[in-house]
Structure 1
């Protein structure tokens, strides 16, 4: 994930408006004075430029750049009020989701507004492509056209180790631009690659980097004890698992009997969005299904929507092959929990605006009933995310919620971004997981016993200790990773969190109650993670192999699979699920997660080169739900696991 900037005085720079917008006051680098008579889009100069280095080059004047114009909703307040009613389980209108056509007719800009924007773009020489939701018009043009029309200069910058282009000044529209355009325009996206930069929620291997787990390891929690290593808290500790099997997760989360009776997600479609697309995904998942007792793909059960082999951009800068592992994990996780559901993989052409557009199109075309997303930015700071990006994600996630699409986002893998509590004032949460209209999925560590039952489930916050030089003790305990959680500085507390989230969390940054994440959690600890299979490159060739993996990259698709099963059993889409989950807090539908009474440990063996024992091994002692973290599990809602994890009556 992209690391967060420090808190500084961030809260003072933000004014919160409703649940879905934030405005910057005086933030960002100095802006060049606009030319007289132009309509300036204030705040459109990227705020990250002050942390970037100009490379001395710029996109060629003839270079084609894709971008989009975001148009304002007609009645956002009315749309949010409608959502509060139809997503309230106690409301008479619960589940009366709108069609996408209804959404456009009631809340999107009028067709006349859209036509005016399209005509203006054509008059400036831009090419048009797709219009999404009646509120986002995709276009493209040369650098020279963009510089002229928007009164800026596109430049290349080095930022976060990558080269990306951005407008060097605030954007503006030419004198004489019709008021029908200036009045409806919310902003321009795609020109600023830095604000759109996203990474997978975990760094996973691609075909150019093989990875294997160290042994010994256990088939279930507690199976093998590390007798040859020091005790911890007076007891010899178990080896970590080799990676749970799909059927172990199915059993532990109450699906086994349902699956036997055909309640397996059939009739429900789950979409997965990531950047790029693994060229071996069909072969890999076919082998995986066979090896792990999962049903083979039936006709048309798995499909992909991608730009095609020549349609990708920024592959090197985005770490293209690393996204292959993300796709593989996501697809195998969904199929593990919902073996009867249709799975559609939607690949963005890059990890910038291409992924934004792929995600939005998945919603607007109603590709699926559930959309799981294991990516984002580890920062909800308005100084790094433009107002237009916030509006873009807010509007399309609102469309999803109103039209009965469940949208899940991983909450991140670095706790509250303070490295386990080194600087509590710098706490931050992940975006887009903190959007009010999506489900932010946090992480747990889960023990599954030899009978397939959950022997424990705690919040995922890890400390690791290394073996002393003499091999007689564990030393140097330090925070490693954990599920993302905490308080947003951008979004106000949404209606479904009122009365459930304690003020000590929602008011962490001031007197205003704010949106908090996660909403609900699933297994994410890599040491209690899923065993997945993928084609990788090893010294002796390129072939399929398996490894254990976790992260909230795992938690989100696992939950999506369970939601598909729940949808089939209920005979209707889960839709916007947050109000239901918060209403069920304290019931058997939700398992409340609390901290362990005494420390819980595991021993993990790592291969130093990640492949074999040629370069030796290292030994670590994991402390589960480490209390060194600054977010902790408590009774009821907490910033580590949200309301908890799916309980025994989750499928009621």
Structure 2
């Protein structure tokens, strides 16, 4: 039965959500089913326009920008009034997770929940905004988890297994590389990332320790220490299918770990929902135990697939990362300038389009004797993969991109906004990465691979610095183009000298990056 907001409730700004046009109603969730809902609070402090010269101490950040005990208590009182229990309450993450029955949640948040089926997936969905009491409206940034539709997809492309001698696989890559070969080709500075922790966000799949051991033994490296961190019930759960999310998980671990084998790797597993994605990110950013200095994200979706409140909450989490000296790298998408939307318009992928993240585009790479002989924009044609990139419909042009040459959007109206990506590296599966997944040696591409490759590079750079490099973008744009990619397109946008919406400032130039401000 539809629930209506009461006169004492107000809509949470940006929480309105539409059901997919292809979704079909298949019933109602059981009213007594327990669900978890995440309430994200606004920052209690006024965040400065400029980042601190050195990363903030976590204790200082928590005092200045975390939720106050009074704010958390107000949410807990709201929960008690509606018969909800508090599962988790975190001041640094500005998060309270509530648990209760579907009927209670509908009443508490003024929403109507239904069951829907779309493209073979059944989910609990809603349309319209979420509501909160008037006396909470001033502190609530967003409410997540009422709707549990899949929020994102992994940005990888499977080229196929490595063939046995004399055997040609129909989808095998034309050429492929180990992460070590790429680190050498891109002239990464020496080092192994010792003392650093790389956080990897995963919304499904899992890894097998036997695969990690075998892969690194083949590379002649000691396997890195890999820890699975459970978020909202997510866990390391390999499916046995390399074309599932397992391919993403293993690609991320093996690429980052091979480039920075001295670094520890923490994999944050969460459900593929708006709440799961956000909580995985905030858990990693504010993990005072593991203290990651870089976060690698290879999952995303076109901006129209997100609510405004979800993008705002994730963007603010990335800003918090920047203040703490944590670098955030996000894959820019594998479906060209359309980004899977199919409306004949150009779209950017989020979270790569966040101004507080570093978006990672993709190239096609050829080596000769270990040196780069050719590097162009990755675009294998309609349906076969191409780097994402473009101009955000959501975020304004950030200060660091002023003067970078970001063009107006290719869409009608020519909006000026945040340009994506910022950087690039090889992503074409036909010149992809050799990895091991579910007992098989595979070749995988996609911008998914670019984020962990750069994460390993950042870990190497951090290991040689007094303070972590933190938010990369201002430093990168101040330094100018890297290995400039000037040939190719991703559909709506063409590569050219300088920044472009296919490969950003270019692929890694390790020698130049090593000279970034200490």
Normalising by structure 2, we get a TM-score of: 0.89
The 5 A counterparts of 1:97-112 are: 97-112=55-70
**Residue in structure 2 matched with residue 591 of structure 1 by the alignment:** 483
Rg (Cα) greater in structure: 1
Structure 1 residues 240, 534: closer, same or farther in 2, change over 3 A? closer
**Residue in structure 2 matched with residue 363 of structure 1 by the alignment:** 285
1:302 equivalenced with 2:226 (yes/no):
yes
1:561 equivalenced with 2:456 (yes/no):
yes
**Residue in structure 2 matched with residue 486 of structure 1 by the alignment:** 390
How large is the RMSD of aligned CA atoms in angstroms?
A: 3.1
CA distance in 2, matches of 1:350, 1:321: 17
CA distance in 1, matches of 2:95, 2:38: 6
Structure 1 residues 203, 140: closer, same or farther in 2, change over 3 A? farther
**Residue in structure 1 matched with residue 94 of structure 2 by the alignment:** 135
User: What is the aligned length?
Assistant: 505
CA offsets 1:554-580 (integer angstroms, 9 cap, x no match): 111001001111111233211000111
CA distance in 2, matches of 1:106, 1:436: 22
**Residue in structure 2 matched with residue 274 of structure 1 by the alignment:** 202
TM superposition shift of 1:582: 0.7
The 5 A counterparts of 1:367-516 are: 367-377=291-301, 379-381=302-304, 384-417=305-338, 426-450=345-369, 452-463=370-381, 480-502=384-406, 504-505=407-408, 510=413, 513-516=416-419
CA offsets 1:83-122 (integer angstroms, 9 cap, x no match): 2xx3xxxxxx3xx111233233223443312221122212
SS of alignment partner, residue 312 of structure 2 = helix
8 A Cα contact 1:203 1:322, kept in partner: no
8 A Cα contact 1:442 1:520, kept in partner: yes
**Residue in structure 1 matched with residue 495 of structure 2 by the alignment:** 633
8 A Cα contact 1:526 1:550, kept in partner: yes
TM superposition shift of 1:60: 1.1
Structure 1 residues 492, 168: closer, same or farther in 2, change over 3 A? closer
CA distance in 2, matches of 1:243, 1:129: 46
8 A Cα contact 1:445 1:459, kept in partner: yes
**Residue in structure 2 matched with residue 343 of structure 1 by the alignment:** 265
**Residue in structure 2 matched with residue 517 of structure 1 by the alignment:** 420
Is the deviation greater in 271-280 or in 339-348?
271-280
The 5 A counterparts of 1:202-221 are: 202=156, 211-213=160-162
CA distance in 1, matches of 2:451, 2:20: 32
Among 229, 254, 261, which residue is 2:187 paired with?
A: 254
**Residue in structure 2 matched with residue 201 of structure 1 by the alignment:** 155
Among 433, 451, 454, which residue is 1:530 paired with?
A: 433
CA distance in 1, matches of 2:152, 2:477: 29
Among 122, 129, 147, which residue is 2:80 paired with?
A: 122
8 A Cα contact 1:276 1:320, kept in partner: no
Among 40, 53, 60, which residue is 2:24 paired with?
A: 53
SS of alignment partner, residue 55 of structure 2 = coil
SS of alignment partner, residue 61 of structure 1 = coil
TM superposition shift of 1:323: 1.4
The 5 A counterparts of 1:8-87 are: 34-41=5-12, 44-48=15-19, 50-55=21-26, 57-75=27-45, 78-79=46-47, 81-83=49-51, 86=52
CA distance in 1, matches of 2:249, 2:162: 20
8 A Cα contact 1:523 1:555, kept in partner: yes
CA distance in 2, matches of 1:361, 1:147: 27
TM superposition shift of 1:203: 5.3
CA offsets 1:445-475 (integer angstroms, 9 cap, x no match): 111222x111122221224xxxxxxxxxxxx
8 A Cα contact 1:153 1:167, kept in partner: yes
**Uncovered stretches (5+) of structure 2, i.e. residues with no partner:** none
8 A Cα contact 2:9 2:134, kept in partner: no
CA offsets 1:371-419 (integer angstroms, 9 cap, x no match): 1011011x112xx321221221122111111111101110000110178
8 A Cα contact 1:98 1:402, kept in partner: yes
TM superposition shift of 1:523: 1.1
CA offsets 1:341-360 (integer angstroms, 9 cap, x no match): 11111111445522331222
CA offsets 1:165-212 (integer angstroms, 9 cap, x no match): 123554334xxx472x23212231111223x6111112559xxxxx52
Structure 1 residues 346, 339: closer, same or farther in 2, change over 3 A? same
The 5 A counterparts of 1:177-256 are: 177=133, 179=135, 181-194=136-149, 197-202=151-156, 211-213=160-162, 241-255=174-188
